[in-house]
Chain A
Amino acid sequence: MKRTVFGGRLLPWLLLAPQLLITMVFFLWPAGQAVRQSFLREDAFGLSTNFVGLANYRALFRSEEYLNSLQVTVVFSIAVAVLSMGLSLLLAVAADRVVRTARVYTTLLVWPYAVAPAVAGIMWWFIFNPTIGILPYLLNGVGYDWNHSLRPSDAMILVVVAASWKQISYNFLFFLAGLQAIPASLREAAAIDGAGPFKRFWTITFPLLAPTTFFLLVVNIVYTMFDTFGIIHATTEGGPNQATNILIYKVYEDGFLELDLGSSAAQSVILMALVITMTMIQFRWIERRVEY
């Protein structure tokens, strides 16, 4: 690799300055504010401020609602990861086998990724709406009374489907690239040895895809935890009875609707810690892979 050597210390700092400034203003400063706010108890207008130490954090872990939100987030993340990765792997394997029109399929499958979360949310809201939606109408025909504004499981299914649908394209692209990177000779060799398509997939393709799968798992969990706000906001708004109130939505609800800034800040600090942990896991893995 070619190394560039700078003469003085000033130039590199100068070149880095715009990026550093942006990081400072849009990340470090607000993050610092959140940490500071999480130790305070303040009324909405900021007229009285008290330092309360770790009280906001303690209150969170004693709060049934927060623990429920934590649990909901875990269920939601796993469900979305399994559903969206499973389906996209299936689609990728199928697209990988298509020889002639693979490009068309790929383009079509990538489309949903371009849809904004809020738009996706509204679309699913319409499809699933108990009063005017098409799906409850069809389900009613087979004897199931769909109502996600009352039944927690229906609400969870709705947000999982909506969130997975959006993520399938992304996963699909990575799986497809991963599949195409696997040398055909390995599979051909196994085929000559008499292994059937299932055997070949599970013993050769799947293990060789493991790095991609692991990478996608982390990305998907980060996605469900942080980027699904729009979907939740447009469909269930965390309901019914907090059944879909994931951590990121609760931060918004407590901070922006209920003006409990201290608790909301404490929650975002916890989320920040979570995302830092995940990013670290991902980086370590990438480093290992580079060495390998």
Chain B
Amino acid sequence: MVRILATSTLALMAAASAVSAQTEVHWWHAMGGENGAKLEEIVAGYNASQQEFTVVPTFKGTYPETMTAAIAAFRAGEQPAIVQVFEVGTGTMMAAKGATYPVYQLMADMGEPFDPAAFLPAVVGYYTDTEGNMLSMPFNSSTPILYYNKDVFEAAGLDPETPPKTWEELEQFSRQIIESGAAPCGFTTAWISWIHTENLSAWHNQPIGTLENGFGGLGAELSVNGPLQVRHWENLARWQDDGLFQYGGPGGGDDAPPKFYSQECAIYFNSSAGRAGVVANATAFEVGYGMLPYYADVEGAPQNSIIGGATLWVLQGKDEEVYRGVADFFTYLSSPEVQADWHQFSGYLPITQAAYDLSREQGFYEANPGTDISIQQITLNAPTENSKGLRFGSYVQIRDIIDEEFQALLAGDEDAQGALDAVVERGNTLLREFETTSGN
């Protein structure tokens, strides 16, 4: 027994010394399933490409779980060098000035060549401060698009090659689908907050908050109770009553995908990164892709859609050697080859122009129709104050509030104006609290 113990200790020590020759860079991420396997493949590619650093990826669960784990680890002094944080956590990370190491500063300090202009503006805009400095490293960004069932369209007497362009058309198409008996439901959706509130506003060039949607400072207030948002929520509630629309649940709307896959609903909104899931599950029918619809009478629509997904934040408190590794790894990660590979595999946006160009040269978009809808949509127009994204503290909670009030609306407890007024009121309370705790 003692001997076994002694040998294993020796083995352990040997292993430890072999590792310590290379600097370890820990990366906590939230990519499960196939995307997680791809991520590990990318990391393995990096580790094999050089001798100096070893990146160690660790899967930490969902986005909120990963972020919470990293924050708890930071409080205990055990934080990883890199953590993947979803877009709504951006406000929280930005306000934690002593805890994060802004990417632009890291790259400059480590003498790593870095050109923010190489990234797609709609992606980087979300993650830069008011002076235009990039604070975190874009990794997986997506944007919502429309998926539709071509077979059902045909059965309903609609042109299977033409997705609805406007909400008016969407209503009319849905009605025709139901009345013709082609499908029992017109459309369903994931993400009421992200798609039918935030993106709806950006797509129509309307603000969802003051001070450039919160980019201008912690004093921002929500303003999602404008006429456009009220009109859209009112329509969704009415469409639900008419049976045109079926609710897919709060947050990411887990009930929505099965409704589309089982051909119950003919049209479905979800992230462009949901494409792999759609392709894998929609085997019994042909899928078409389209941009988000807009209200034709709203001036300036369609503008451009905004992104979701996550970026990589660097946490403070590590040795310089580790940060050199982080900088080197980020350069590898944003190289056109790695990015194009990741983009084509996962359905996330290519974060750099070069990766987009490379994918086009490789003929990816021709071979996989619908994959470039997301890129066309975020680059449709130059982002305005209302369409470069949003930045509010406590936004994870505000998203929950949006879901809750939307449920109250669908349950008939409130009208659209009342529900959105409540979102603004409850959200602003959280924003003021966030301002007091973080604004020092």
> In the complex, what residue of chain A is closest to B64 when comparing beta carbons?
A257
| Min C-beta distance of A262 to chain B, whole Å | 9
Q: In the complex, are the beta carbons of A149 and B249 less than 8 A apart?
A: yes
Within the complex, what minimum Cβ distance (angstroms) separates A99 from chain B?
49
Asked whether, in the complex, the Cβ of A149 is within 8 Å of the Cβ of B96, the reply is no
Complex contacts, B262 vs chain A, CB 8 Å: 131
The answer to whether B99 touches A149, judged by C-beta atoms less than 8 angstroms apart, is: no
A150 touches which of B64, B394, B407 (Cβ 8 Å): B407
Q: A44-B71, A239-B250 are in contact. Are A257 and B396 (CB under 8 A)?
A: yes
The CA of A132 and the CA of B410, in the complex, are separated in Å by 21
- Residues facing A in B400-440 (CB within 8 A) are 400, 403-405, 407-408, 410-411, 413, 436-438, 440
Q: Is B356 an interface residue (CB 8 A)?
A: no
* Distance to closest chain B CB from A91 (angstroms): 34
The interface stretch among A45-53, A74-82, A207-215, A269-277 is A45-53
B68 on interface, CB distance cutoff 8 Å: yes
Which chain A residues border B259 with CB–CB below 8 Å?
A: 131
Q: Separation in Å of the A255 CB from the closest CB of chain B?
A: 9
- Let me know if A188 is at the binding interface, CB within 8 A: no
Q: How large is the interface on A (under 10, 10 to 19, 20 to 34, 35 or more residues)?
A: 20 to 34
Asked if A241 and B407 sit within 8 Å, CB to CB, the answer is yes
Q: How far is the CA of A258 from the CA of B430 in the complex (A)?
A: 11
Q: Which residues of A contact B394 (CB under 8 A)?
A: 258
Judge whether B68 and A256 touch: CB under 8 Å: yes
Which residues from chain A contact B255 at a C-beta distance below 8 Å? 129-131, 149
The smallest C-beta distance from A25 to any residue of chain B, in angstroms, reads: 16
Within 8 A of B (CB), among A212-245: 237, 239-242
B247→A149 contact, CB < 8 A: yes
Do A240 and B411 touch across chains, with their CB atoms under 8 A apart? yes
Is the CB of A259 closer than 8 A to any CB of chain B? yes
Instruction: Determine if B437 and A45 form an interchain contact, defined as CB atoms under 8 angstroms apart.
Output: no
A151 at the interface (CB under 8 A from B): yes
Evaluate contact between A150 and B95: CB separation under 8 angstroms: no
Contacts of B403 in A (CB 8 A): 239
In the complex, per-residue mask of A128-153: 1 if CB is within 8 Å of any chain B CB, else 0: 01111000000000000001011110
Name the B residues within 8 Å of A260 (CB-CB). 397
CB distance from A287 to the nearest CB of B (A): 41
Q: B247 to A43, Cβ gap below 8 A?
A: no
The A interface, classified by DSSP as helix, strand, loop or mixed, is loop
Contacts of B249 in A (CB 8 A): 149
Quick one: given A149-B255, A151-B411, A257-B396, are A241 and B71 in contact (CB under 8 Å)?
Answer: no
Instruction: Assess the B407–A239 pair: CB atoms within 8 A.
Output: yes
Supposing A129-B255, A241-B408, A242-B404 touch, asked if A47 and B64 sit within 8 A by C-beta, the answer is: no
Q: Is B98 an interface residue (CB 8 A)?
A: yes
- Residues in B neighbouring A45, C-beta threshold 8 A: 71, 74-75, 96, 98-99
Q: How far is the CA of A131 from the CA of B64 in the complex (A)?
A: 26
Q: B258: which A residues are within 8 A, CB to CB?
A: 131-132
In the complex, what's the smallest C-beta–C-beta distance from A124 to chain B, in angstroms? 15
In the bound complex, do residue B98 and residue A47 qualify as a contact, i.e. CB atoms below 8 Å apart?
Answer: yes
**B35 on interface, CB distance cutoff 8 Å:** no
Provided the pairs A42-B437, A47-B98 are in contact, do residues A259 and B92 lie with their beta carbons within 8 angstroms? yes
Q: Is the CB of A44 within 8 A of B96?
A: yes
B97 (CB) vs chain A CBs: closest residue: A47
CA of A48 to CA of B64, assembled, Å: 22
Closest to A149 in B: B249
With A and B bound together, what is the CA distance between A242 and B262 in angstroms? 30
**A-chain residues with CB within 8 Å of residue B438 when the two chains form the complex:** 43, 48
Instruction: Give Cα A28 to B95, complex, Å.
Output: 33
Question: Which chain A residue shows the least CB distance to B100?
Answer: A45
A150 touches B247 (CB 8 A): yes
Q: Does A41 contact B (CB under 8 A)?
A: yes
Determine the distance from Cα of A41 to Cα of B433 in the docked complex, in whole angstroms: 10
Bound state CA distance, A130 and B258, in angstroms?
11
> Per-position contact with B for A243-281: 1 when CB-CB < 8 Å, else 0?
000000000000011111000000000000000000000
Nearest chain A CB to B256's CB is how many angstroms away?
9
The answer, among B75, B96, B250, B437, for a CB contact under 8 Å with A240, is B250
> A48: nearest residue on chain B (CB-CB)?
B440
Q: A148 to nearest B CB, angstroms?
A: 10
Decide: A257 near B250, CB < 8 A? Known: A44-B96, A45-B75, A239-B407: no
Q: Once the chains are docked, how many angstroms separate the CA of A254 from the CA of B201?
A: 28
Binary per-residue interface labels of chain A (26-48) against chain B in the complex, 1 for a CB within 8 Å, 0 otherwise: 00000000000000011111111
Within 8 A of A (CB), among B253-298: 255, 258-259, 262, 264
Which residues of chain A are within 8 angstroms of B400 by Cβ–Cβ distance? Answer: 258
Assuming the contacts A44-B92, A45-B75, A259-B92, asked whether A150 and B440 have C-beta atoms less than 8 A apart, the reply is no
Q: Distance in Å from the Cβ of B62 to the closest Cβ of chain A?
A: 10
- Cα distance A149–B258 when bound, in Å? 15
| Residue of chain B at shortest CB distance from A47 | B98
Nearest A-chain residue to B265, judged by Cβ:
A131
In the complex, which of the residues A150, A237, A239, A242 has the most CB atoms of chain B within 10 Å of its own CB atom? A150
Are A150 and B411 CB-contacts (below 8 A) given A130-B255, A239-B403, A241-B405?
yes
Q: Which of A237, A241, A259 contacts B68 (CB 8 A)?
A: A259
Contact indicator A241/B396 (Cβ below 8 Å): no
Q: What is the bound-complex CA distance between A50 and B439, given in angstroms? A: 13
In the complex, chain A residues 50-76 whose Cβ is within 8 Å of any chain B Cβ: 50
Distance A260 CA – B433 CA, assembled complex (angstroms): 10
- Residue ID in chain B nearest A152 by CB atoms: B411
Contact B95–A43 (Cβ < 8 Å): yes
Given A131-B259, A257-B396, A43 and B437 touching (CB < 8 A)? yes
**Min CB gap B58→A, angstroms:** 18
A74-B174 Cα distance, complex, nearest whole Å? 43
In the complex with contacts A129-B255, A239-B407, A149-B68 CB distance below 8 A:
no
Complex CA gap A147/B71 in Å reads: 36
* Cβ B250 vs Cβ A149 within 8 A: yes
Q: What are 16 A-B contacts with C-beta separation under 8 Å?
A: A42-B437, A43-B96, A44-B92, A45-B74, A45-B98, A46-B75, A47-B97, A47-B98, A130-B255, A150-B411, A152-B411, A240-B250, A241-B404, A241-B411, A258-B397, A258-B400
Which A residues form the contact surface with B (CB < 8 A)? 41-48, 50, 129-132, 147, 149-152, 237, 239-242, 256-260
**Minimum-distance CB pairs A-B, first 4:** A240-B407, A241-B404, A45-B99, A241-B407
19 further A-B contacts with Cβ under 8 Å, apart from A45-B74, A240-B411, A258-B397, are A42-B437, A43-B437, A44-B92, A44-B96, A45-B71, A48-B437, A130-B255, A131-B259, A131-B264, A149-B247, A151-B411, A237-B250, A239-B250, A239-B404, A239-B407, A240-B407, A256-B64, A257-B397, A259-B68
